Structure 1
Amino acid sequence: MDLMRSFIAVLLLAVSQFVFAGTVTDLYQVTLSVDQQRSSPSDLQMSSGLAKVLVKVSGNSSIAEDSQIQSQLKVPARTLKQFSYIAKEDGEYLVLDFHPSVIDGLVTRTGFKPLGGQRPTVLLWFASDLSGEQDYLQFNDPFYKALQLAANSRGLPLQFPLFDLTDQVALTTADLWVLQDQSITQASARYNPDAIIAGRLSKVTPEGVSVAGLFINGGDNQPLAESGNIDQVAQALINRVADNLFKPVVSYKLSHFQTGVAVQVENISNLSDYVRLIDFLKGLSVVSQVKIEQAIGNQITVRLELDGSEEQLRQAFALEPQLQALDSLRNQDGSAVMIYRWQG
């Protein structure tokens, strides 16, 4: 790997960590390509921008299918805060900024919780044979740009490895090409990502590429396979990963019989708090199953199936300094509701 390529790798990693580092900015803003500037955006442009922002804020790729959202998309003007135009080398762009409180209200009314700006980071490892031989995919490759644009559309932070000597020893091109999961996981440890995408990019037609890959999320490894033009493949990969990472967090529509103990936890302000809480609950020996029941604002209710007693559950909670007991009550059917505050 030549010096310039290493420099680009270092620069991109530094930029990605500064901009993202698990934090997504401009959630309520979207940029659209336009043919010309107008005195004000059209309803079609505002509707398109609103739909894109709702996906970013909610983490739900199908939120625009909701009947309430469909109604709002027909009259999008009240959701728009301001707009502007910018000129780039490849043309004119319209920048739409939407009212955060209005957007959050729309998301909440459809039964989903806004994710907030703190989100899981995904580390990318890609090899390619587009140059005629198997090698690490170069950082100036259009595929990386397409992945970044797709990730921006979903509010998903990406990380890039340095591909320095340490990386090349830990994860050889050969291991990356065959998607050797143990080597990929070990090489990724230095970057401390929340999840990993590893894959190989190959050309299948003059206009089309294919990706065979692996999505690693904790102990769960899922195969990835997409083909099409670069933009289609990148968006499909990011959509699948984002849907997988965001789905357990955003949905609170009830889909199970109300059994077990309900635990209401306040002050869950971001995705990191949510993940730590759920990991804690799943790690308790007295808990056999954790079900997400409801999320309203910064308050989440989970329903716990127990292998022990409610008193054992309370004792386990008392050992967790981040959980402050607030109240406890009984529903009319006799089921318990425990109320706590997260001290994250």
Structure 2
Amino acid sequence: MLLVWAGAASAQGVKPAASAAAAEAPSESKRLVRDPALYATRVELLSQDDKARKAAIARALVQVVNQLTGRTDAGSNPVVRGAFAHAPDWVLDDKAGVSDAEGNTLVGGAPVLKASLNVRFDPNPVDSLIAAAGFKYWTGERPKPMLWLSIDDGRGPRLVTAGQLNVIKSLADRGQQRGLRFLVPQGSAGDLAALPAVLALDARGVAAANARYRNDTMLIGKVYRSVSGWSAWWLLWQDGAELSRWPVTMPDARQVIASGADNTAEYFAKRDASRLDAGRAGVVRMEVAGINGLDDYVRAVAFLQTHASVRELDIDAAQPGILLLRVDLRSGVNAFRGLMRTSGVLQPLGPASAPAADGEPPAESIERFTLKD
């Protein structure tokens, strides 16, 4: 799948914002841009054996597809699930480590360290998988919202700035899971003076302090204790206009804080996602070369019959060295071809025009593959 490359984004989900002198001008383009950072993620590693590692890589693939599409349900798609067996072949690198998976230091507890696996995937098969699954691709050229957040735990409201990043770890982690990076104010006197406007969800009032960061996107929120536990009000703002406003109430402060990332990601993914060119779906004529015996025939047919992208398969002819088929694809042929490049079974050779009878219009093209050793 052809996408335009962009520079890698920061590996952190929230970081201090640069002042106007160092900030990048906001992009107005909504073209499809590939951000390499979105093809990497971290998942929990339950043990060091091969089975656990493969399971972690499958979870990482689901997470990466979610990041690239703005979805949360990629793991329930049959085409995505069908790719789990091939996911280890798509890994460019992985590294085991430990992380505070629970984020307990957010509320003053001791860190709960768990084994984790950092995984980075080859973008090409992942893009093909997204197209084959019928998902929209959320361009990697995404806003990095400035987070203006007040938290009141009963001792009075305070503005979260660069010195309290641990307080918003749950939002940072959720943002990374949803493919968003947030910025926070540095904590200058001018920033702290914006607290009353933040509490009032007065975006125009906050914009005066936000102007020094040259960021046209703001997520403004206030989190506070309530009768039901913790509550929040959020406001999403961009280019001088309110985009969305929503309340949240949950027992856990971490969940309430993280909810700001969820609705923000859902809004921008819905607005900015586009479909990749998956090609024509439906019945496609295929030619598979390298069929030199019964074992090759069974291997090729069994692979296609069980592939999640294939609805139905009919064999037109089995000739020496060649198998001719009609395959009904759920996904487009371009996406299917991309998946086959890393399948370990079929290697795409590209389409070819089928010969037409004299006086007849050109016949439909044939997708050509060869059986890998």
| TM-score under structure 1 length normalisation | 0.60
Distance 2:43 2:198 in 1: 36
Quote the residue 1:31 is aligned against. Answer: 42
- Secondary structure of the residue that 1:185 maps to in structure 2? helix
Q: 1:180 to 1:31 in 2, by over 3 A?
A: same
Please name the residue that 2:181 is paired with. Answer: 157
Which residue of the partner structure matches residue 273 of structure 1?
Answer: none
Cα distance, 1:35 vs structure 2: 4.1
Q: Write the deviation string for residues 193-233 of structure 1: whole angstroms up to 9, x where unpaired.
A: 24211111112379x42211211133234212122223422
Write the distance in 2 (CA, Å) between the matches of 1:40 and 1:82. 17
Q: Which residue of 2 aligns with 1:119?
A: 142
> CA offset at residue 145 of structure 1?
1.3
> Which of 71, 90, 105 matches 1:60?
71
- Cα offset for 1:241? 0.7
Paired residue type of 1:60: R
Counterpart of 1:72 in structure 2 is 83
Aligned length: 240
Query: 1:209 and 1:179 mapped to 2: Cα distance?
Result: 18
Mapped to 2, the partners of 1:34 and 1:70 lie a distance apart of 19
Structure 1 residues 133 and 184: CA distance shift in structure 2, 3 A: same
**What amino acid maps onto 2:238 in structure 1?**
N
1-structure distance, mates of 2:139, 2:154: 40
Q: Rg: which structure is higher?
A: 2
Task: Verify the 8 A CA contact 1:60 1:250 in the aligned structure 2.
Answer: no
Identity over aligned pairs, percent? 18
SS in structure 2 opposite 1:175? helix
Match for residue 204 of structure 1 among 226, 233, 239: 226
Q: CA deviation at 1:81?
A: 3.5
**Mapped contact 2:221–2:234 kept (Cα < 8 A):** yes
Select 1:213's aligned residue among 234, 248, 252. 234
Calculate the aligned-residue CA RMSD, in Å.
3.4
Q: Which residue is 2:59 aligned to?
A: 48
* Cα distance, 1:244 vs structure 2: 0.7
Quick check: 2:131–2:275 contact (8 Å CA) kept in 1? no
In 2: Cα distance, 1:28 partner to 1:134 partner:
37
Unpaired runs of at least 5, structure 1: 1-10, 254-295, 298-344
What's the counterpart of residue 188 of structure 1?
210
Asked if 2 retains the 8 angstrom alpha-carbon contact of 1:82 and 1:96, the reply is yes
User: Is the partner of 2:43 in helix, strand or coil?
Assistant: strand
For 2:40 and 2:275, the matched residues in 1 are separated by 26
Q: Per the alignment, do residues 248 and 163 of structure 1 end up closer, same or farther by CA in structure 2, a change over 3 Å counting?
A: same
Q: Distance in 1 between matches of 2:93 and 2:165?
A: 34
| Structure 2: unaligned runs, 5 residues or longer | 1-14, 28-33, 101-112, 277-333, 336-373
24 and 125 in structure 1: CA distance in 2 versus 1, 3 angstrom threshold? farther
Contact 1:154 / 1:239 at 8 angstroms: preserved in 2? yes
Question: TM (normalized to structure 2)?
Answer: 0.55
Equivalent AA in structure 2 for residue 211 of structure 1:
A
One-letter amino acid of the structure 2 residue matched with residue 13 of structure 1: A
- Identify the structure with the greater strand proportion: 2
